Amino acid sequence: MSTPLERMADFDLTEDQRAVRAAVREFAEKEILPHVEAHEREARYPTELIQKLVPLGYFAPMVPEEYGGSFIDTMSYGLICEELARVDWVVASVVSVGNSLLAKSILRFGSDAQKDRWLPAIARGEILSSACLTEPGGGTDLGNMQSTATRVEGGWRLNGTKVFISHAAHAGLFFVVASIDRERKHKGVTAFLVDPKTTEGIQIGEFPMRTLQRDNLAEVHFQDAFVPDDGLLGEPGGGFPVLGAALEMGRFSVAMRCIGQAQRCLDLAIPYAMEREAFGKKIGEFQMIQKMIADMVARTEQARAVAYRLGRMLDADVGRASLESSLAKLVASEAATQNALDAVQVHGGYGLSAEYEVGRLVLEAKALEFGEGTSELHRKLIAEFALGVRKQ
Ligand SMILES: Cc1cc2nc3c(=O)[nH]c(=O)nc-3n(C[C@H](O)[C@H](O)[C@H](O)COP(=O)(O)OP(=O)(O)OC[C@H]3O[C@@H](n4cnc5c(N)ncnc54)[C@H](O)[C@@H]3O)c2cc1C
């Protein structure tokens, strides 16, 4: 029998979607969660855990069966992201980047040859994917990117540096954006599919962070890296529409990951509040602790309301959902960060001790406020829609 909170979270899901959530949660808690702290301490990338997703169909749920994937509805895919993120940022990110940014973009904009080349390999779990968008000069103003793609016989030469690139050292496929004409700003931006293992002129370097030590981020240098014509995704100068569609889907999966993290904070804070005592009472009996718990529930459910609706809209194929994806990403990512801060507060000083998981979640949640667009970018986009100066 489900608790009132579980009933609320699951209320408007179908039976199948509830079953997906339950199965992924059981798997994630049993197979992934016990290893995450050790991976973080040892700065180890969770390669073996990622491979466990493949036979269960959690690795490539957006890849159609004709390419060997385990295709399911978008909402269920979001639930996979939510439940994986509830236990591990990195494993959830692999699924989110590989499906939302790469597989979906190839399905939407790729040629038949590109689909045949990449999608079966993604589906079999043979290759992980990275999206190379952000540059040292900035990640928000992508229309002003410095990386260039120069036309040469039979293809393009890429030059430039990308930073903060998740999974880059482990990936077998890069989604890269570069400009074919920097004067044309966003109209010069062009998307490419690049094989980092066989392309000469790509160097992958370390990108040290204060969080996510699990060997996750890298910087990527392109020095006259040759990409053949069949690596072009979409049209020359047509990278922005490709990016827009990819990021919309990416914002959905990141929002769902944020909900997973927000939920995890609640799952950790509630038992602690019911166990820890001060002044002869359980701290959960103090109203100020109860306020934090209530706010955490409210934020998590607000995030579910907007993100689940977005998932259903994407399943209904309503066309572009830029406003809704910005809203979901904004609300869910800020909920995750605030829940992590509150969960630490409930734990008192132990919240920051190595003994408890909750302190790690603060920076991991904060990191989700940056990927797929910052809160400021999303507020800007939402305001522009509200003011009528942006139509899509
Ligand atoms: C853990 C992690 C993983 C990541 N993974 C990837 C990845 O796999 N691939 C990838 O390409 N990138 C990745 N990123 C990078 C991320 O996408 C960027 O950090 C993000 O897009 C912001 O870019 P920036 O950090 O250069 O900030 P900037 O663009 O320099 O912005 C700095 C500040 O100014 C604000 N700002 C900018 N423009 C405006 C405006 N018009 N109005 C108001 N405020 C504004 C921003 O919101 C921000 O607060 C990752 C980042 C992190 C932290």
Average pLDDT over residues 296-316: 97
* Whether residue 215 has pLDDT greater than 90: no
Parent domain of 191: 130-237
CB distance 207 to ligand 1 below 6 Å: no
- CA separation for the pair 21, 19 (Å, rounded): 5
Q: Among 102, 144, 164, 207, which is best to mutate for testing ligand 1, by the most ligand atoms less than 8 A from CB?
A: 164
Q: What angle do CA 340, 215, 193 make, to 5 degrees?
A: 105
Question: Is 392 inside a domain boundary?
Answer: no
Rounded to the nearest 10°, the torsion over CA 128, 134, 135, 141 is: 160
* Whether residue 367 has pLDDT greater than 80: yes
- Which atom of ligand 1 is found nearest the CA of 366? 53
Q: Please say whether the dihedral angle defined by the alpha carbons of residues 368, 369, 373 and 378, taken in this order, is positive or negative.
A: positive
Question: Is 372 inside a domain boundary?
Answer: yes
Q: Identify which of 233, 245, 273, 197 has the alpha carbon closest to the alpha carbon of residue 114.
A: 233
Q: pLDDT-derived band of residue 392, with 50, 70 and 90 as boundaries?
A: confident
Give the distance, in angstroms, between the CA of residue 298 and the centroid of all CA atoms in the same chain. 22
Q: 127, 158, 179 — which closes off a domain?
A: 127
Q: What is the mean pLDDT of the chain?
A: 97
Q: 82, 110, 127 — which closes off a domain?
A: 127
CB distance 367 to ligand 1 below 6 Å: yes
Q: Taking the complete model, does pTM exceed 0.85, yes or no?
A: yes
Q: pLDDT at position 61, please? A: 98
Q: Give the chain's domain count.
A: 3
Kind of pairing between the strands at 155-166 and 128-132: unpaired
Q: DSSP per residue over 197-220, as a string? A: TT-TTEEEEE---SS-TTT-EEEE
CB distance 203 to ligand 1 below 6 Å: no
CB distance 157 to ligand 1 below 6 Å: no
Average pLDDT over residues 300-322: 95
Q: 93, 127, 161 — which closes off a domain?
A: 127
Kind of pairing between the strands at 128-132 and 171-179: parallel
Average pLDDT over residues 328-343: 98
* Whether residue 311 has pLDDT greater than 80: yes
Q: Identify which of 269, 270, 339 has the alpha carbon closest to the alpha carbon of residue 304.
A: 339
- Asked if 372 is an active-site residue, the reply is yes
Q: How far is the CA of 135 from the centre of ligand 1 (A)?
A: 9
Residues 278 and 347 in one domain: yes
Q: pLDDT-derived band of residue 324, with 50, 70 and 90 as boundaries?
A: very high
174 bridge partner residues: 130, 194
Residues 330 and 360 in one domain: yes
Q: How far is the CA of 347 from the centre of ligand 1 (A)?
A: 30
Q: Please say whether the dihedral angle defined by the alpha carbons of residues 375, 380, 386 and 391, taken in this order, is positive or negative.
A: negative
Residues 85 and 33 in one domain: yes
Q: pLDDT at position 125, please? A: 97
Question: Is 123 inside a domain boundary?
Answer: yes
Question: Is 380 inside a domain boundary?
Answer: yes
Residues 251 and 379 in one domain: yes
Residues 186 and 86 in one domain: no
Q: How many CA atoms lie within 13 A of 110 on its CB side?
A: 21
Q: How many CA atoms lie within 13 A of 362 on its CB side?
A: 13
Residues 308 and 381 in one domain: yes
Question: Which protein residue's CA is at the shortest distance from atom 16 of ligand 1?
Answer: 371
Q: How far is the CA of 134 from the centre of ligand 1 (A)?
A: 7
Q: How far is the CA of 367 from the centre of ligand 1 (A)?
A: 10
Answer left, alpha or beta for residue 374, where phi above 0 means left and psi between -120 and 50 means alpha: beta
pLDDT digits (tens, 9 = 90+) for 30-43: 999 999 999 999 99
Contact 50, 216 (CB under 8 A): no
- CA separation for the pair 152, 114 (Å, rounded): 20
- Which atom of ligand 1 is found nearest the CA of 166? 8
- Can you give the CATH number for the domain in which 168 is found? 2.40.110.10
Contact 168, 197 (CB under 8 A): no
Q: How far is the CA of 164 from the centre of ligand 1 (A)?
A: 9
- Which atom of ligand 1 is found nearest the CA of 131? 9
Q: Among 167, 219, 374, which is best to mutate for testing ligand 1, by the most ligand atoms less than 8 A from CB?
A: 374
CB distance 134 to ligand 1 below 6 Å: yes
268 bridge partner residues: none
CB distance 142 to ligand 1 below 6 Å: no
**Residue 129 DSSP label:** E
* Whether residue 2 has pLDDT greater than 90: no
User: Of 83, 135, 357, 372, which one is the catalytic site residue?
Assistant: 372
pLDDT digits (tens, 9 = 90+) for 132-180: 999 999 999 999 999 999 999 999 999 999 999 999 999 999 999 999 9
Question: Is 288 inside a domain boundary?
Answer: yes
Residues 230 and 344 in one domain: no
Question: Is 81 inside a domain boundary?
Answer: yes
Q: pLDDT at position 237, please? A: 97
* Whether residue 1 has pLDDT greater than 80: no
Q: Where do runs of H (alpha helix) occur along the chain?
A: 4-10, 15-27, 33-41, 47-56, 74-87, 89-96, 104-109, 112-123, 239-275, 287-315, 322-347, 358-368, 375-387
